[in-house]
Amino acid sequence: MKQNKSFPEGFLWGVSTASYQIEGAWDSDGKGESIWDRFTHTPGKIRNGDTGDTACDHYHRWQEDIQIMSQIGVKAYRLSTSWPRILPAGTGMVNQKGLDFYTRLVDELLQKEIIPFVTLYHWDLPQTLQEQGGWKVRSTAEAFLEYTDVITRCLGDRVKNWITHNEPSVMAHNGYHLGAHAPGLKDLGASLSASHHLLLSHGWAVPLIRKNSPQAKIGLSMNVNWMAIASPSQADHEAYRKSSGLWLRWYLDPLYGRGYPVDVIQDVIRLGALLNSELPFVYDDDLSVIAVPTDFLGVNYYTRFISRSTEIPEADNLPPNVTQSQRNQENWTEMGWEVYPEGLNRVLSWLYYEYQPPQLYVTESGCSYSDAPDNDGVIRDDRRIHYLKQHFAASLRAIENGVPLGGYFVWSLMDNFEWDQGYAQRFGLVWIDYSTKQRLLKNSAIWYQQIIADNSICE
Ligand code: FCB
């Protein structure tokens, strides 16, 4: 029998976006070049040669976008600020027009009673800093502090929820090790020093944000998908240890006071990316800086990955007994990611009981399906509704397990520029017609409106 299951009172139903993926206006009003501007303008890097030059044109259409959020009834909105829009050269001169843009945005959100959650860094580093070494060098962490100071002094009285970094593991690996994201390097050693400087900049930023934004709640968002083990074999367990070590424990352990995991350091030495267990980029006190207490952990959850001893690229990392032809079934999204809702419950429960953050938020979760308007103009994205419903139910199971989950931000408010995939992947609750920039609510947005109003799901 179907049952109505309620979420805790005050649960924050939200939507999430990121500056480079939606704003456009890449060189307007004094904005500096970012590493994503440079990367997308380099031929061959992005599917179909797409760029974020105009994206959803949110820079000019932000009022309409807030109106849409208000119509859906969201309680909170997670956005990111663009560092090169505010400090075009990364440090030094402040671009007042950039600050004004975010000030207007935040004021309008508050006016509509939507709580802003601001991410300071969602991957769009100023290109000038990249030319000085990017996240490989310590001076970028120092520059991040300057940027954090400018933006939190400007908005700290009104914004009370801050996220320092979005997915530092994805930034470091996809950007510095695998080369799929800006700045496109393929160097494991560089990705390790990048990861350290990302974490260090987080540790330095937290007390500064507390100073500039009294009573602020501060966290960091990690990409944590469920990692399963393909078989009971020792080799597959070993594969799991290695990949979860490099992608999860390498970040979470130092953030929660345990330092860098010794087994991962040994793996990296074996791979030749470190000479010995002395990490040359770690200075005295860095680890205590990184372990600064925070108020919440943001979790970005999409899918399950299976660890196996045989080397297969991630997108083809099929669970045992799943054949290629079965992938087109309804439990695979167009990103090639498996729909695995129970993984969200497991991830939230594991993170809470392993690291004990005071609170958690799902800061991203969603799916890519390209359902377009039918002849009658209606977008029947039933698969997205199904995905969200199952993931909301999994969140509720985590809450029932005792996890202090404060809210859920659907990725994403609207279709947008999906990094190396360009516009080919559509994650939005709202359809974007990229030729006219017209916005159209998908059925999932209308369904979400009802969930928010009821604060419950029916299963
Ligand atoms: C996450 C990113 C976000 C979006 C989703 C699909 O890793 O944080 O910007 O691209 O994936």
Looking at residue 318, its pLDDT comes to 59
SS3 271: coil
Residue 448 phi, psi dihedral angles, 5° rounding: -65, -40
Expressed in angstroms and rounded, the spacing between residue 428 Cα and the centre of ligand 1 is 12
Distance 78 CA to ligand 1 centre (A): 13
Q: Is the pLDDT of residue 224 over 90?
A: yes
Percent of the chain at pLDDT above 70? 96
Tokens 């820079």 belong to residue: 59
Q: Which residues contact 358 (CB under 8 A, 6 or more apart)?
A: 294, 295, 296, 404
* Ordered alpha helix ranges (H), 220-280: 234-244, 250-255, 262-270
The superfamily CATH assigns to domain 4-221+334-458 is Glycosidases (3.20.20.80)
pLDDT digits (tens, 9 = 90+) for 52-64: 999 999 999 999 9
Which atom of ligand 1 lies nearest, measured to the CA of 418?
10
> Residue 323 pLDDT > 60, yes or no?
no
How much distance in Å is there from the Cα of 298 to the middle of ligand 1?
13
Beta-carbon contacts of residue 167 (< 8 Å; ≥ 6 apart) = 221, 222, 223, 300
Give the burial string for 197-207 (b: 16+ CB within 10 Å, else e).
Answer: bbbbbbbbbbe
pLDDT of residue 244: 97
Number of other CB atoms surrounding residue 326 within 10 Å: 12
pLDDT bin (cut points 50, 70, 90) of residue 81 is very high
The structure tokens listed for 195 are 């990861």
Smallest CA separation from ligand 1 atom 7, residue: 223
Q: Is 275 helix (H, G, I), strand (E, B) or coil?
A: coil
What's the mean pLDDT in 62-73? 98
Residues with CB under 6 A from ligand 1: 18, 21, 166-167, 170, 223, 300, 364, 411, 418-419, 427
What pLDDT, in 10s, does the model give residues 247-271? 999 999 999 999 999 999 999 999 9
- Angstrom CA distances, 451 to 4, 81, 337, 381, 407, stand at 11, 28, 25, 16, 13
258-306: pLDDT as tens digits: 999 999 999 999 999 999 999 999 999 999 999 999 999 999 999 999 9
Q: Which residue has the tokens 């400018």?
A: 150
Is the distance from CB of 407 to CB of 415 less than 8 angstroms? no
Tokens for 178, please give them.
């695998």
Cα separation, 225 vs 204, in Å, equals 27
- Residue 319 scores a pLDDT above 90: no
* Residue 36 pLDDT exceeds 70: yes
Q: Any idea which residues carry the catalytic annotation?
A: 167, 364
pTM for the whole thing?
0.97
What is the β-pairing status of strands 115-121 and 217-223?
A: unpaired
Nearest atom of ligand 1 to the alpha carbon of 368: 6
Dist CA 444 CA 427 (whole Å) = 11
Structure tokens, 46: 């992005």
Cβ–Cβ < 8 Å for 443, 388: no
Token pair of 274 as six digits: 């470190």
- Please report the atom of ligand 1 found closest to the CA of residue 335: 6
Domain definitions of the chain by residue range: 4-221+334-458
CA atoms within 13 A on the CB side of 64: 14
Q: How much is the pLDDT for 271?
A: 94
Residue-wise pLDDT tens digits, 352-362: 999 999 999 99
- CA 178, 179, 185, 190 torsion-angle sign: negative
Neighbours of 331 (CB within 10 A): 17
Rounded to the nearest angstrom, the distance between the alpha carbon of 120 and the centre of ligand 1 is 15
